[in-house]
Amino acid sequence: MGPPYHQFCPVAKAMELFDERWTLLVVRELVLGSEHFNDLRRGLPHMSPTLLSKRLHQLAAAGIVQRLGDGTDVRYVLTPAGRDLDTVVAAFGAWGTRWTGTLGDADLDPRLLMWDMHRNVDHTAVPVRRAVVEFVFPAVSTASRRWWLVITDDEVDVCDTDPGFEVSVRVTAGLRELTEIWRGDATWYGAIASRTVRVDGPSALRRSLPRWFVSPLAASAARHSL
């Protein structure tokens, strides 16, 4: 918890909880459905495990998070006060969509992109019972160049090694170009037409692929610059 501002203003009181580094991003991950420590780490790969543990303890002490279970099956679940932050996270995201500038190279991370895409799949739009989407980023370092999303009826797995299933669709793209699609700065169809993104596979799957993913970042609001 941050130092007190000694103001009665509710904004000041709220910021005493949330003005420390990473805290609101931990809440973002919890709001988006991550409950296990390792899943939270996958959404926050640049945050140290020690600091994540500290922030979770602080949020629990503040009544925002409840720690459930023990041993190897520990979950971190938002309390009613924590669930009420859903609108706060959404408002920050909408503001960031409208007003933040272009992405720097350091902002691009295939791990985060794949993790965010895997939890925003519209299963009703996937026309096969098991779809395997391979993503290839030719310009990325070898260790992070290839990723797979394995989509079944009720879950999606993220793999950074070949899962051994037949690939349904292969997407070859620049990391920036695919991230811009995910943020709503570009469209699948425009990127495919301009050949900055290539999709290989059966024609029916190629055509339907953009509908398999529903990006929460691709807000319809127009971008502005500060």
Q: Choose which CATH entry (3.20.20.140, 1.10.10.10, 3.40.50.300, 3.30.1120.130) describes domain 10-99.
A: 1.10.10.10
Residue 218 pLDDT greater than 70, yes or no: no
Question: Which spans in the chain are helix H?
Answer: 10-18, 23-31, 37-43, 49-61, 80-83, 86-99, 110-118, 175-183, 188-193, 203-212
Residue 16 pLDDT greater than 50, yes or no: yes
Q: What is the mean pLDDT of the chain?
A: 91
Residue 54 pLDDT greater than 60, yes or no: yes
What confidence tens digit (pLDDT) does each residue in 18-51 have? 889 999 999 999 999 999 999 999 999 999 999 9
Fold of 105-212: Nonspecific Lipid-transfer Protein; Chain A (3.30.1050)
Q: What is the share, in percent, of the chain residues with pLDDT greater than 70?
A: 95
pLDDT value for 220? 45
Cα–Cα distance for residue pair 148/169, rounded to 1 Å: 10
Contact, 103 vs 176, CB < 8 A? Answer: yes
Contact, 145 vs 136, CB < 8 A? Answer: yes
Q: Stretch 185-208: mean pLDDT, rounded? A: 94
Residue 109 pLDDT greater than 60, yes or no: yes
Cα–Cα distance for residue pair 46/35, rounded to 1 Å: 18
pLDDT value for 46? 92
Cα–Cα distance for residue pair 197/186, rounded to 1 Å: 11
Sign for the CA dihedral angle at 211, 214, 220, 223 comes to negative
**Residues facing residue 151 across a β-bridge:** 131, 156
Domain assignments of the chain as residue spans, ordered by start: 10-99, 105-212
Higher pLDDT, 141 or 32: 32
* Whole-structure pTM value: 0.86
Cα–Cα distance for residue pair 81/62, rounded to 1 Å: 10
Higher pLDDT, 142 or 225: 142
Contact, 123 vs 153, CB < 8 A? Answer: yes
What confidence tens digit (pLDDT) does each residue in 110-139 have? 999 999 999 999 999 999 999 999 999 999
pLDDT value for 4? 85
pLDDT value for 226? 58
What confidence tens digit (pLDDT) does each residue in 78-103 have? 999 999 999 999 888 888 878 877 78
Question: What's the angle, vertex CA 221, arms to CA 225 and CA 80, rounded to 5?
Answer: 105
Higher pLDDT, 219 or 34: 34
